[in-house]
């Protein structure tokens, strides 16, 4: 999901970094995936030290122009620190899942989806927004029933109890407003007419429509890019894409006659800013 957009955009040098396991090796699946996607280099390093190497360069790793991809809290902080020296995509935090649901939604699906994203770490932010008190109670009951039976239950329980919530809103409009205010990384809409609601969602990183568009499936195989904005950054950008690897070039050509036509306006503007030599550079040509 990092390499393919760069490849499509025509990036010539694509460097992948991945931390070694306890045996000192990179997971073979990571190496094969990087090769299939078209990475040109792969290095056995991860974490903060990998961000430093990519940003400033080492004897064995040449510096890059831009660093993309998710990481833990330390990687995110490292990306922030090097951003004055090297371009980055975004500061991605812990996983976020918001779900908008009405009384047509399946409570078990809702509970399973919240649990699936909460298992990432104890600081994930997973919540349900509904206009149905019945659905709110049923989902809460389902989660409590499932928790003792699932794997990673302590992690899920910690995340949902510390950070999760179920909000019962008066109407659809309130549900939309709350979702837009929170701008979640993933937003599932499980209602009778999810498309009508999605048209009013402006801040989510990824919107998933209907009962079968599970966020956990989007993490892997539904086709969308899973490098997504968190911490409210969905208000200003979407997922990683080809656009993250494209620089727009601008060219301008002016003729003597065109400069002559606009010179009086330039005189007004440069005078108002107190920069007279800007105007003289043009007047000298005329």
Taking the C-alpha atoms of residue 111 and residue 101, their distance in angstroms, rounded to an integer, is 12
186 is catalytic: yes
Classified as helix, coil or strand, 242 is helix
Taking the C-alpha atoms of residue 78 and residue 91, their distance in angstroms, rounded to an integer, is 10
Residues 118 and 109: beta-carbon distance below 8 Å: no
96 is catalytic: no
- Could you tell me which residues come within 8 angstroms of residue 161 by beta carbon, excluding any fewer than 6 positions away? none
| Secondary structure letter of residue 26 according to DSSP | -
One of 185, 226, 251, 280 is an active-site residue; which one? 185
Taking the C-alpha atoms of residue 195 and residue 193, their distance in angstroms, rounded to an integer, is 6
Residues facing residue 186 across a β-bridge: 97, 206
Please provide residue 253's backbone torsions phi and psi, each rounded to the nearest 5 degrees.
Answer: -130, 130
One of 96, 120, 186, 226 is an active-site residue; which one? 186
Taking the C-alpha atoms of residue 51 and residue 81, their distance in angstroms, rounded to an integer, is 10
- Cα angle at 153 between 150 and 158, to 5 degrees? 150
- Cα angle at 124 between 120 and 125, to 5 degrees? 140
Query: What is the DSSP track for 244-275?
Result: GG----------HHHHHHHHHHHHHHHHHHT-
Residues marked as catalytic: 185-186
């Amino acid at each position: 999901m990092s390499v393919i957009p760069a490849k499509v955009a025509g990036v010539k040098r694509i460097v992948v970094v991945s931390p070694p396991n306890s045996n000192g090796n990179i997971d073979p699946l990571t190496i094969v995936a990087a090769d299939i996607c078209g990475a040109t280099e792969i290095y056995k390093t991860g974490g903060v030290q990998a961000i430093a190497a990519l940003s400033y360069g080492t004897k064995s790793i040449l510096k890059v122009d831009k660093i993309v991809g998710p990481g833990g809290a330390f990687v995110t902080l490292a990306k922030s620190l090097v951003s004055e020296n090297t371009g980055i995509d975004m500061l991605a935090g812990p996983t976020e899942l918001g779900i908008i649901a009405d009384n047509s939604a399946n409570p078990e699906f809702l509970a399973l989806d919240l649990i699936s994203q909460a298992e990432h770490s104890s600081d994930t932010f997973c919540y349900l927004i509904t206009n149905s008190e019945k659905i709110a109670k049923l989902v809460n009951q389902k989660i409590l029933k499932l928790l003792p039976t699932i794997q990673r239950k302590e992690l899920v329980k910690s995340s949902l109890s510390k950070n999760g919530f179920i909000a019962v809103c008066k109407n659809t409009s309130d549900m939309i407003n709350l979702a837009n205010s929170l701008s979640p990384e993933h937003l599932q809409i499980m209602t009778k007419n999810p498309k009508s609601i999605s048209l009013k969602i402006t801040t989510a990183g990824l919107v998933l429509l209907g009962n079968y568009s599970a966020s956990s499936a989007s993490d892997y195989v539904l086709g969308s890019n899973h490098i997504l904005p968190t911490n409210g950054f969905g208000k200003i950008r979407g997922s990683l894409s080809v656009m993250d690897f494209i620089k727009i070039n601008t060219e301008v050509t002016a003729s003597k006659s065109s400069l002559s036509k606009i010179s009086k306006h330039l005189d007004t503007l440069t005078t108002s800013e107190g920069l007279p030599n800007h105007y003289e550079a043009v007047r000298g040509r005329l």
